[in-house]
Amino acid sequence: MDQKKNILIVETDRSFALHLAKALKALGAMRVSIAPAVREAALHLVQRAQDLAFIPLTDNDQIVRSLRAVQPDLRLILMVPTPDTAVPDFYSGQIQAVLIKSLVDVDLASVIEQADGQPFLGLNEEEAKMPAPDTAVLIAALQQAQLGQLLQTVIFAQAAQVLAHWGNLNDTEVANVALYTGREWLQDQYKTRVQFLHLPPRSGEWLLYTTCVEKAYLLTLVAAPEMPMPELRRQAALLSGYLLDALRGVAPFFTPPETSTAVESADQKSFAIVWRPVVSLPPALHIPLRRALDRLATANGCHLRHTAVQPELIHLVVTCPQGRDSAWAAYLFKNGAEEIIQQEFGVAANLWETGYYATESTEPLTEAELNIFLEHDA
How far apart are the C-alpha atoms of 51 and 338, rounded to whole Å? 22
Which of the listed CATH numbers 1.10.3720.10, 3.30.1370.110, 2.60.40.1730, 3.30.70.1290 matches domain 270-377?
Answer: 3.30.70.1290
pLDDT at position 4 is: 78
pLDDT at position 71 is: 84
CATH architecture of 129-247: 2-Layer Sandwich (3.30)
Query: What global pTM score does this model have?
Result: 0.65
How far apart are the C-alpha atoms of 105 and 39, rounded to whole Å? 28
Q: At what angle do helices 38-47 and 171-188 cross, to 10 degrees?
A: 100
Per-domain residue ranges of the chain: 5-122, 129-247, 270-377
CB 56 within 8 A of CB 63: yes
pLDDT at position 130 is: 55
How far apart are the C-alpha atoms of 253 and 130, rounded to whole Å? 21
How far apart are the C-alpha atoms of 54 and 356, rounded to whole Å? 41
CB 154 within 8 A of CB 239: yes
Pairing relationship of beta strands 217-223 and 205-214 according to DSSP bridges: antiparallel
Q: Residue 76 pairs with which residues in a beta bridge?
A: 53
> Which are the contacts of 122, defined by CB distance < 8 A and separation ≥ 6?
72, 73, 128
pLDDT at position 262 is: 43
Pairing relationship of beta strands 97-100 and 75-80 according to DSSP bridges: parallel
pLDDT at position 208 is: 96
CATH number of 5-122: 3.40.50.2300
Residue 62, number of CB atoms within 10 A of its CB = 10
Torsion of CA 66, 69, 72, 75, to 10 degrees: -10
Per-residue pLDDT of the chain (378 residues; tens, 9 = 90+): 346 789 999 999 999 999 999 999 999 888 999 999 988 888 888 878 899 999 999 888 788 888 887 888 899 999 999 888 877 877 867 888 899 999 999 989 999 988 888 665 444 444 444 566 788 889 889 988 888 889 999 999 988 888 899 999 988 788 889 888 988 887 778 899 999 999 877 888 999 999 999 888 999 999 999 999 999 999 999 999 999 988 887 755 555 544 444 455 666 899 999 999 999 998 888 999 999 999 999 988 899 999 999 999 999 999 999 888 999 999 999 999 998 988 777 666 789 998 899 999 999 999 888 888 877 655
Alpha-carbon distances of 343 from 7, 154, 171, rounded to whole Å? 17, 17, 12
Residue/partner pairs of 252-257 with CB below 8 Å, 24 or more apart:
252/137, 252/140, 252/298, 252/299, 252/301, 253/141, 253/144, 254/140, 254/300, 254/301, 254/321, 255/301, 256/301, 256/321, 257/301, 257/303, 257/319, 257/321, 257/322
